[in-house]
Amino acid sequence: MNTPDADSRARQLPKVLLHEHLDGGLRVATLLDLALARGLALPAADETGLAAWFDHNAHAGSLEKYLEGFALTVAAMAPPEAMRRVAREAADDAAEDGVVLAEFRIAPLLFEPHGTPGDVAVEAMLAGLAESQLPLHTHSGLIVCAMRHEDEAATMRAAELALRWMGRGVVGFDLAGAERGHPPGKHARTLAAVREAGLPLTLHAGEADSAERVIEAGRLGARRIGHGVRLVDALTGAAPAELLDEAKALGLHLEVCPTSNVHTGAAASIATHPITALWRAGVSLGLNTDNRLMSRVTPSSEAAVLLRDTPLTEADLLAMARQAAAASFLPEAARQRALAAIG
C-alpha cells in the first residue's frame, strides 16, 4: 500500500526479531573502529565508503557474493571485548527501533582461527546482551550456528558448544552458510543430538535451495525456518502442493528477511516477494532483517518497504509480530511479555 508516511508508521510498530546475524549487523562506525584497532585491511577508509562497499556486494544478486563481507566482520569483532560491544549495540539498536523481543545468532567457532575459543565467544556475546536495552533471558537470547558446508564433526562441535550454554542464554541451534549443495540431512546426527537434548532448532532452508529443503528441515526437527521463501513454489506449481500442507502440519514458522532475499537472488523484488503469498496462504511467519550491515536495513525499514510496495497492512505486520513472539525460543514469560507489548 503506497502511503506517504510508511516510514513513520513502521517505526511506531512493536516488532519481534528472530533472525539477525551479529556478524552481519555491526554498526558501520563500530566495524571501522574495530578493524582499525586490529590493523585490518579495509576496502574503504571511511564510513561512507565502507557502507557503499557492503551495498555493492549486497546488490550482486548471489548469496555467495553477499557472504563475502563476513570475513571482514568476523576478523574485526574477534576479540571478546569487541564481541561484547557488537552484541550490546545490536540489541540497543533493535530496542530503539521498537523491537520488544530479539534472538540474535552467531557461529562462535568462526572466531577460533582468530584466537578466540568458542566458549569465550559465547560468554562475551551473552554478556553484551545482558547489559543491553533488551536484557538476556527476559527480552533477548542467542542462537548458536554451525556452518553447513563443514563436515559433521565440525557441526557436532558447534552443537556441543551450544548445549554447554543452554539455559544460560543460548536458546537455539542453527545451520547457516551457503545452502545449495549442503542439505540439512547431511548433519542429521548433529541435529538429532541437539533435539534430544531439548535445545530448539531453527535451520536456514528454502533460501538458495528448494521448497523440499524446508520440509526436510522440518522433518529433522526444526521448529522454525530461516528464510523458507521457496515454499512459495508449492503455491505456483513449481513444487508439489502438498509441501505447503506439510509445512503447516509441522507447525513451521518462517523467519522471512525480504530485503536480504532480494539481495541474494531469492526474490526478484519486494513487490513480488513471496511473503505476501505465503502470508495469505496461512503460513506462520515473521519479519526479520538477516544482516543489518550487509543489507543496510533496520526492522523499521523492512516494515516500511512492505507497507509501501506490497498489499500488506499494519494489521498484517502486527499479526506477524504476534506469530513471531509465539514462535520465539525464549522462556514463556518472555514470550507473554512480548505479546502483551504488541497488543
pLDDT tens for 142-186 read 999 999 999 999 999 999 999 999 999 999 999 998 888 899 999
CB 321 within 8 A of CB 13: yes
Cα–Cα distances (Å) from 186 to 34, 63, 189, 219, in that order, read: 36, 20, 8, 13
Q: What share of the chain in percent tops pLDDT 70?
A: 98
- Residue 205 is classified by DSSP as E
pLDDT tens for 6-54 read 999 999 999 999 999 999 999 999 999 999 999 999 999 999 999 999 9
CB 13 within 8 A of CB 6: no
Cell match 565508503: residue?
Answer: 49
Radius of gyration for the alpha carbons in the chain, expressed in angstroms and rounded: 18
Q: What is the pLDDT of residue 56?
A: 86
Query: Beta-carbon neighbour count of residue 198 at 10 Å?
Result: 9
User: What DSSP string runs through 114-139?
Assistant: GT--HHHHHHHHHHHHHTSSS-BTTT
Residue type, 314: E
Collect all residues with Cβ–Cβ distance below 8 Å to 224 and sequence separation of at least 6.
18, 172, 200, 201, 202, 203, 252, 253, 254, 255, 327
Question: Active-site residue numbers?
Answer: 207
CB 296 within 8 A of CB 305: no
Least confident span in 22-26, 162-166, 200-204, 262-266: 262-266
What cell does 144 get? 548458536
For residue 209, pLDDT over 90 is answered with: no
Sort 68 into a burial class: Cβ within 10 Å, 0-12 / 13-18 / 19+. middle
Region 177-204: mean pLDDT is 95
Query: Beta-carbon neighbour count of residue 137 at 10 Å?
Result: 17
- Domain locations in the chain? 6-342
Sort 237 into a burial class: Cβ within 10 Å, 0-12 / 13-18 / 19+. exposed
Query: Beta-carbon neighbour count of residue 254 at 10 Å?
Result: 31
Region 230-234: mean pLDDT is 95
CB 195 within 8 A of CB 163: no
28-47 exposure pattern, b = at least 16 Cβ within 10 A, e = fewer: bebbbbbbeeeeeeeeeeee
For residue 4, pLDDT over 70 is answered with: no
Q: What share of the chain in percent tops pLDDT 90?
A: 90
User: What DSSP string runs through 254-269?
Assistant: EEE-HHHHHHHTSSS-
- Residue 6 is classified by DSSP as H
pLDDT tens for 50-79 read 999 998 888 877 767 777 789 999 999 999
CATH 3.30.565.10 fits 6-342, yes or no: no
Q: What is the pLDDT of residue 292?
A: 96
89-104 exposure pattern, b = at least 16 Cβ within 10 A, e = fewer: bbbbbbbebbbbbbbb
3-state secondary structure of 40: coil
For residue 1, pLDDT over 50 is answered with: no
Collect all residues with Cβ–Cβ distance below 8 Å to 288 and sequence separation of at least 6.
17, 18, 19, 20, 255, 256, 257, 299, 302
Reported pTM: 0.96
For residue 2, pLDDT over 80 is answered with: no
CB 166 within 8 A of CB 141: no
